[in-house]
Amino acid sequence: MIRCRDVVERLWAYLDGELDETDHRAIEEHLRLCVRCCGETEFADELRGVLATRSRPEMPTDVKDVLEEFIDGLDPTNPNT
Amino acid sequence: MLGTVDRTSLQELARAELPGLYALARYLTRTRAEAEELVQDTMVRACRSFASLNDVKAGPKWLRVIMTNVWRDRLRRNGRRPEEVLVDPSPEPEHFSLYQTLVDEDPLPWSDTMHVDFLGAFSAEDIQLVLQRVPERYRVPLLLRYMDGFGTGEISELLSLPAGTVYSLLHRGREHFERALWEYANESGLLEQGAGAERPPRKEARSR
């Protein structure tokens, strides 16, 4: 069985579905038997969620106004826009 | 499929994606003004190549690809090579696990769900300040992956880096992010009040 250290290193890639089948299976097998790594996995999933939902800075209203006005002036038929 | 070059379609796409594009631009640049300029340059380039967009569903990622290219061009104009900005020459930092650190340090002894409560103590603004502490070379791939949903292969193409390098940057980026969360929580007094409790302003931690 692979070591906890190896599992933790590949945990995010595992959750992202980016491991090859062999590595993916090895981690699943490890997680069936290791409570600590299961905790790490749940926590890594929470962290991914935090990055997906809380990382976007809000656009200030004045910037939004300027950029929307800019968009209004865009014209794909004019290469000099 | 977009049959014709359609001004309204581009404007609709641009308006819908504006908050996300601004967010990415804010992390790729240092100031609000630079972010605004990057969004505008992205729109101009998108306008010029709009006819090449065949699938409107691909529009959001297409705009982000353009933004990343504009950003890389700007780096080059400023005498910086994107590959150098993004490749880490430093030795492997010491391994850091926030999960294990929380187990060892037990910063919320009253909590039965410590790990969840720890993350729950961070507002969106806190998370954004924490991300600013992550070095640029790690922050960019991390945000392309988890904020904008690009796959590792796509990031590799976007940044012209080998896939192995992107894996390494993402791995290190996650550790930097976890370490920065822990340091920010300690420096800002985030945990002193307990999760969910009203917290005093943390001016020192919020200053850039």
Quickly count: other Cβ atoms within 10 Å of residue A57's Cβ. Answer: 21
- pLDDT at position A4 over 60: yes
Residue B111 has a pLDDT of 85
Any CB–CB contact under 8 A between A35 and chain B?
Answer: no
Contact flag A71-B18 (C-beta cutoff 8 Å): yes
* pLDDT tens, residue by residue, B21-35: 999 999 999 899 999
Any CB–CB contact under 8 A between A33 and chain B?
Answer: no
B98: left (phi over 0), alpha (psi -120 to 50) or beta: alpha
- pLDDT at position B193 over 70: no
Residue B57 has a pLDDT of 85
Chain A residue with minimal CA distance to B167? A13
For the segment(s) B7-80, the CATH number from 1.10.1740.10, 1.10.10.10, 3.40.50.11540, 3.30.1330.10 is 1.10.1740.10
User: What residues 120-179 of chain B have any CB closer than 8 A to a CB of chain A?
Assistant: 122-124, 127-128, 131, 142-143, 145-147, 151-152, 167, 170-171, 174, 177-178
Confidence bin at B203 (pLDDT 50/70/90): very low
Chain B residue with minimal CA distance to A10? B171
Q: Where are the alpha helices (DSSP H) in B59-123?
A: 59-77, 82-86, 98-105, 114-120
Q: Residue for token digits 């200053």?
A: B207
The number of angstroms, rounded, from the C-alpha of B201 to the middle of its chain's C-alpha atoms is 25
Enumerate the residues of chain B whose CB falls inside 8 A of the CB of residue A47.
98, 119, 174, 177-178
Task: Please compute the mean of the pLDDT values over residues A26-38 and round it to a whole number.
Answer: 95
Q: List the domain boundaries for chain B.
A: 7-80, 98-206
CATH of domain B98-206: 1.10.10.10
Query: Which domains are delineated in chain A?
Result: 4-72 (1.10.10)
Tell me the C-alpha to C-alpha distance, in Å, between residue B78 and each of B33, B40, B107: 17, 18, 44
Confidence bin at B205 (pLDDT 50/70/90): very low
Enumerate the residues of chain A whose CB falls inside 8 A of the CB of residue B32.
60, 63
The tally of CA atoms less than 13 A away on the side-chain side of residue B48 is 9
Enumerate the residues of chain A whose CB falls inside 8 A of the CB of residue B97.
8, 40
- Specify whether the CB–CB gap between B64 and B43 falls below 8 A: no
Percent of chain A with pLDDT over 70: 93
Task: Please compute the mean of the pLDDT values over residues B175-188 and round it to a whole number.
Answer: 95
Enumerate the residues of chain A whose CB falls inside 8 A of the CB of residue B35.
63
Q: Residue B79, class by beta-carbon neighbours within 10 Å (0-12 exposed, 13-18 middle, 19+ buried)?
A: exposed
The number of angstroms, rounded, from the C-alpha of B43 to the middle of its chain's C-alpha atoms is 20
Return the H-helix or E-strand segment holding B203: helix B203-206
